A and B are shown apart, each in its own frame.
Chain A
Amino acid sequence: MAETGEELVFELRDVHFSYRDHVALDGLSMSVQRGERLVLLGANGSGKSTLLKLLDGLIFPDRGSIHAFGRKLTAEALADEGLARSFRRRVGFVFQNSDAQLFSASVRDEVAFGPLHLGLEHREVERRVADTLHIMGLEHLADRPPYHLSGGEKKKVALASVLAINPEVLLLDEPTAGLDPKTVGFLERLLNQLAEAGKTVVTATQDLDLAAAIADRLLVLGEDHRRAGEGTPPEVLADRRLLLESNLVHDHPHRHDGREHRHPHSHLEDHGHRHRD
C-alpha cells in the first residue's frame, strides 16, 4: 500500500465537526505536505485536538471530507481490516493525556502494544521495543508500571509507544504541556531529527516557542473554529494582530527594569512580570 509519488499526506475540504451542540470545527480546508513540519496553533477550545483526532481517523467529519494518502477517510473505509492496519502503521498519534495513552501494565508492554497489534512478527517487535527504549533512554524503566513514572517519563514512553510503530506521519497533541525545560529540549531535538529522516510531523500547540522551534509552516485556528491565518513561523509570529485575535498572546502594560511599556507575549511564558493597570 506504498503509494509513492503522492505529495499530499492529508487533504481536508470544508470539514465541520461538533460534539452534540458544541461546534469544534466550522468549515476547515487545509492540506499537509509529505515531509513537512506543520504546527497547528490555537488557544484552548479552538478545535486543535479535534482536528488531530480527525486526521487520525478516530472521529469523522459531520460535513466535508478528509483524504489521507489519496484515499477518503471514513468509518466504513477504516472498518476494512487491511486498510485500517496500513493506515495505523503510517500514522501515529501522541495524545495530550499520557495517562490515557499509557494503559498497559509495564513500559515494555506499552511500547510493544502498537507493533504487536499492527501485525509485526514477535521477534521484530522485541527488536523494535529494545531499540526504541534505547534511543529514548528508557531502558531502566522497561519493567516499571506506568503509574510510577514522572510526567516527563510518561510523555517519553507515550512517544516511544508510537515511534516503535515507525509511522511516516506523526501527530502530536500539546506534547510539551507540563514538561520541564530539559524534556522540552529533548522533544524538540527528537522531532526535528524525525523530520530530517523524512517523517511528516504535525503538532498542535499553543506554545509559540515550541512552534518557532519545530515548524516549517504554522496554521492558526481562531476562536470561531476556522482557519485564522497561515504562514512560515517568522511571518505568523510577527503578525501581532493575528496572534492577539486568536488568544495566543495577550497585550497589557507591565514593567521591565522599572520602565513601563506594552508588548504582546504568550500565555504560557512566565516573564515574571507584574500587573499594574
Chain B
Amino acid sequence: MHIPDGYISPQTAGGLWAAMVPAWYYAGRKVRGALAGRRAPLIAASAAFAFVVMMFNVPVPGGTTGHVVGGTLLAVVVGPWAAVLAVTAALVIQALFFGDGGIIALGANCFNIAFVSPVAGYFVYRLVSGRSPISSYRHPLGAGIGAYVGLNAAALLTALELGIQPLLFHDAAGTALYSPYDLSQTVPAMMSVHLLVIGVLEAVVTSLAVAWMQRTNPGLLFAAAPGETAGERFRLRPLLVALALMLVFVPLGLLASAPAWGEWSSEEIAADLGFVPAGMERLEGLWSGVLPDYGFPGGGEGVSQAVGGYLVSAALGLAAAALVAVVLAQVVRRRSSHDG
C-alpha cells in the first residue's frame, strides 16, 4: 500500500502534503496537551513499534503469509493523534531505509496510512466499545472492526490517488506519465484484495492482540477506556472539521497544480470525464494569467525555444565540467589512499 515515487505526479503528491500539514499540526497540539513532555520519547517508541509490527509474518489462508499495519492497534493504546505522529515517523524511516514508499509520495502515504487509517479505525473502535468496561468483548471486537475499516479506507484512498493519474497526466499520444491504471482498474484491484484478505487479517490480528492485552496487561488499554486515568475524551467535531478541510484541500491541490503544465485543456477533460468541473475553467484562466508562457513548455515559439535551448545547454556544459571534477577528485583520492 506504500506508494513509491513515480506512481503519482508531484502535483498530486503536493496536494496531499498540503493536506497532511494541518493534520500533523493538529495532532501535535492534541498530543502536547495529552502527553506533555513525554510525547517525544513515547511517540518514538510507538513509531518503533509501528515499524517493527510490519515485520511480523502472519499466515493467511492459502499457505502464504501477510503482515499487518497495526495503525488502529496503536491508536487504541496511545490514542489516535499520537498514532498519527508515530506512524508518520515509521513511514519516513521505511521510505528512507527500505525504499518502501517514496519521499515525494510521503505526503500521500502519510495521508492514507498514518492519518486516515488510524483515525477512522479509532473512531469505529470507540463507536463499538463505547463505555464498556475494559474486560468487555466489545474492545477486541471494536478494535478488529476498526482495523478493518481503517485499512480499507487507506486502500481505497490509495486506489483513488493512483487511479486519477492516467486521467490527469498523460502525453498527447496517450502514454501514461505516472501510474497507468484508471479508477475502474485500481479500485477493484486494491479493494478486492484488501476487503477479502488483507483487511480480514488486520482485523483478526488486531482483535487477538487487544484480547491478549486484556488478559495480560489491561493497564495498556486504560487510555482507551473513558473515565479512567489519562483517558482523553474523544471528540467527534474536530475530526469532522479536519476531514472536511482535507476534502477541500485535496482536490484543490490536484486541480490547481495540474493546469500549470498546460498539458491538458478543458476539452481534453471533457472528453475524459464527460464534463468539465465548473471551478476548473476559472482556475485555468487564473493560471494563464499568472504564468504567461514562461520559458519553453512546448510553446513552439522561436525565441523562447532558443533561449530555453541555450540555458539547457549551458547547464549541461557546466554539469559536464563538474562531473569531470568529481571523477578526477575521486580518482586522486583513491590513488592517494592506495599509496598511503
Contacts and interface: CB of A to CB of B under 8 A. Distances in A.
Q: Do chains A and B touch in the complex (CB under 8 A)?
A: yes
Interface of A: 20, 103
B123 to A, nearest CB: 29
Contacts of B219: 20
3 contacts: A20-B219, A103-B41, A103-B44
**Does more than half of chain B's interface fall in helix, strand or loop, or is it mixed?**
helix
Interface of B: 41, 44, 219
A103 B41 CA distance: 9
Nearest to A100: B41
Contacts of B41: 103
Contacts of A20: 219
A103 B42 CA distance: 12
Contacts of B44: 103
A103 B43 CA distance: 13
B216 to A, nearest CB: 16
Contacts of A103: 41, 44
Nearest to B229: A20
A18 to B, nearest CB: 14
A38 to B, nearest CB: 29
A20 B322 CA distance: 66
A206 B13 CA distance: 57
A263 B184 CA distance: 81
A20 B219 CA distance: 10
A261 B41 CA distance: 52
A106 to B, nearest CB: 16
A64 B219 CA distance: 27
Nearest to B40: A103
B249 to A, nearest CB: 34
Nearest to A103: B41
B53 to A, nearest CB: 19
A20 B44 CA distance: 25
A243 to B, nearest CB: 33
A20 B229 CA distance: 10
B41 to A, nearest CB: 7
B236 to A, nearest CB: 30
A68 B44 CA distance: 32
